[in-house]
């Protein structure tokens, strides 16, 4: 019984680590911003259209992710 439990918990831990290392977990270019999310907000959206679809019907808006915006700006000065 303990071996099955240990194997199951190990598999879950391995999946969590693998998911955190995948590029899909990286922050997106656009952030859902509003009273509920604050600033910079929920930055999981790759496109502006995805972000606006999530903002529909709420008192929220979409803006560019500051990490993305400032990273692009710094690369230009090298």
The per-residue pLDDT for range 2-53, each reduced to its tens digit, is: 677 555 555 555 444 444 443 444 579 999 999 988 888 999 999 999 999 9
- Indicate the pTM of the whole model: 0.56
Residue 43, burial from CB neighbour count under 10 angstroms (0-12, 13-18, 19+): buried
Half-sphere exposure of 77 (CA within 13 A, CB side): 5
Separation between Cα atoms, residue 31 and residue 21, nearest integer Å? 21
Separation between Cα atoms, residue 54 and residue 59, nearest integer Å? 11
């Amino acid at each position: 019984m303990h071996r099955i439990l240990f194997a199951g918990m190990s598999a879950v831990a391995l999946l969590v680590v693998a998911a955190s290392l995948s590029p899909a977990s990286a922050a997106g270019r656009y952030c859902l911003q509003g009273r509920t999310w604050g600033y910079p907000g929920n930055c999981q959206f790759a496109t502006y259209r995805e972000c606006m679809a999530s903002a529909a019907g709420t008192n929220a808006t979409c803006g560019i992710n500051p990490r993305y915006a400032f990273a692009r700006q710094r690369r230009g000065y090298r």
